[in-house]
Amino acid sequence: MNRTPLFSIISLNIFLKKYQFLCLELCARMCINQGKDAKQERLKVMITDMRDIAVFIAFFHVSIVVATVPPCQTCGSPNLSPPAPEAASPEPALTQPVESPKTVPPCQTCGSPNPSPPAHEAASPEPAPTPSADSPKTSKAPKDGVFDITEHGAVAGGGTESSSAFSAAWTAACDYAGKSTFYIPEGRYLVGPISFTGPCYNNWSPNVEIRGTLLAPISLSAFKSSTWIAFKNLQGFIVTGENETANIDGQGAAEAWKQFSCEKSDRCKKLITSMDLINVSHATISGITLSNSKGFHLGLHGSNHINIYNVNITAPKESPNTDGIHVSHSSNINIFSSTIGVGDDCVSIGPGSSNISISDVQCGPGHGISVGSLGKYKNEKDVVGISVQNCTIKGTQNGIRVKTWPGAPPSKASNMTFEDIFMINVSNPIIIDQEYCPSHSCNTSEPSLVKLTDIFVRNINGTYNTRSAITLLCSSEVPCENVQLVNISLNYVVPDSPRQGRMSTKGFLNGLQVINSRF
């Protein structure tokens, strides 16, 4: 900074102070040595002379200040144009030095809303532009938190295996510090076995939006476990899609259903669940189709507070072990407003399930809606609180069913309600089967020890095609207890075929009630 102007002003102030002091000193001396009149006259003359000298010196200093202070280019004038560069001063010491890159420039905008740059100042270099989100040197930022599998390398067409791209997109969505969506656009994507695992950021999961078709590998050798697509350890999980395009296709017909074990028994040796929810809570699945699974289409295990609706599940009625939805060791599950037609149970409820609700489900073809099978393994947990209501069951091997294995170890299944169900041409519309043995190779002489209590069947209407409308095969060791059949109206549709009886019973029953019913 140039300090000459400030120095000049300070010098002027010091001079004027000294001038005032000298005047007072002279006045005092003259007053001592001369008469009053002569003293005053002489003093006036000296003051006048000293004032003239002071004024001259003051103007000299002011001229230096004016010459050395660089003018503010825009102060106080909104339309002031900058002056042309000054010519070199004959006094180098007082000349404003040429501005170097290290010199702080003078105020350019003081008091001016529309400043113009000084004429002598070179234009400042433009700052380097900030790279955009699409710059190839930067990682792709998600658009509104959407992680598209194709932006991570997935290739549509159904010929390129894309599980690594799916995993990369999921990891990015799971780690995202905000609301995120794992997005599968329209197209056909071949995906090998894959696990989408949490917990995710802040213990909240990405939404999954499916617009395309996922194709499972055809060969069973591609699967090291019994699951194709697994969602594990997630909370607040939502899967949505469009039924017309969002399809989870297990491609079971190409190889899996042709296993030799499938032809020799009712259970294939290797079963692959298309989609499994394992330790998932507070989740919703809607608007998707699951088709042609190599085993169960949708499984729930160790999960709770799950809503499943507007789901379409389909496989040929000859496809083995292709349950629509299988629930085990889970609680507070709601399945509603869905269509399920498969080669096995539309919905099956396994051990350790509680508070399971099934409503407004269209079931068929298949084996109906079942609780069980139960008692195949030791130490199975109880089943309690099952509700099936407002469903339509059409063309199935069974209607509503509870099934346990013969020789099953002790466990319980209780508080099961089936009501407001319409059946169309079904076999075995109402059945309790505690001698369940699909391979027909079990030792039925050993009774099931699964205790069945509080089974309520109400308002069942429709048609059936088997000899018996109601079959109750209970254990000979632990009786079925408190079974109520209320307002049952079922019509046999093969009138010329002989029947053994409209109701078939076996084993022990305590507290059976049949009220206002015909079948």
Which residues have a catalytic role annotated?
367
307, with CB counted inside 10 A (0-12, 13-18, 19+), is middle
Q: Which pair of tokens denotes residue 147?
A: 């992680």
CA distance 283 to 301: 13
Coil, helix or strand for 60?
helix
Q: With beta carbons less than 8 A apart as the criterion, state whether 287 and 240 touch.
A: yes
Coil, helix or strand for 219?
coil
Q: Which residues of 36-59 are buried (b: 16+ CB within 10 A; e: fewer)?
A: eeebeeebeeeeeeeeeebeeeee
DSSP string computed for 115-126: ----TTSPPPPP
DSSP 228: E
205, with CB counted inside 10 A (0-12, 13-18, 19+), is buried
Coil, helix or strand for 61?
helix
Residue whose C-alpha is closest to residue 275's, from 254, 293, 252: 293
